[in-house]
Amino acid sequence: MSTSSDPVTTTATTTSTYESTSTYETTSTYETAVVLPADLHARPAGQLARAAAGFTSAIQLEHADRTVNPTGVLAVMGLGATAGSTVTVRAEGHDAEQAVTALAALLATAE
């Protein structure tokens, strides 16, 4: 994984699997780390949960060795993530890239 001065670093892997139904299914895994500009309190947690529910991919938020499903607003608040700490967004599925991009943007602009 590369590092840069940018607070957001992204890694992505794409795997194609051949399905017995003779169609190609592409499942992608994306991951982005965001340094929080502000505490991850109630309002941004609510925004994250609502955004996360709009994707079909399996999404995880990771902070300080704890992993939660961001569709759970209470679990997101329970991370207790504070300004300056790093939260990693990870998604696996057909809209993984869009999910990670959207959630990382919310985390990066939280007030």
Among 61, 73, 91, 100, binds another protein (CB under 8 A): 73
User: How many Cα atoms sit within 13 Å of 63 on the Cβ side?
Assistant: 23
CB of 7 to another protein, least distance (A): 25
Active site residue 94: no
Q: In whole angstroms, give the CA distance from residue 111 to residue 106.
A: 10
User: 61 or 73, CB closer to another protein?
Assistant: 73
Check binding of 98 to another protein (CB under 8 A). no
- The two tokens of residue 48 are 């994250």
Check binding of 42 to another protein (CB under 8 A). yes
- Active site residue: 9, 38, 41, 68, which one? 41
Q: Rounded to an integer, what is the distance from CA 48 to the centroid of its chain? A: 9
Residue carrying structure tokens 């340094």? 35
Residues acting as catalytic residues: 41
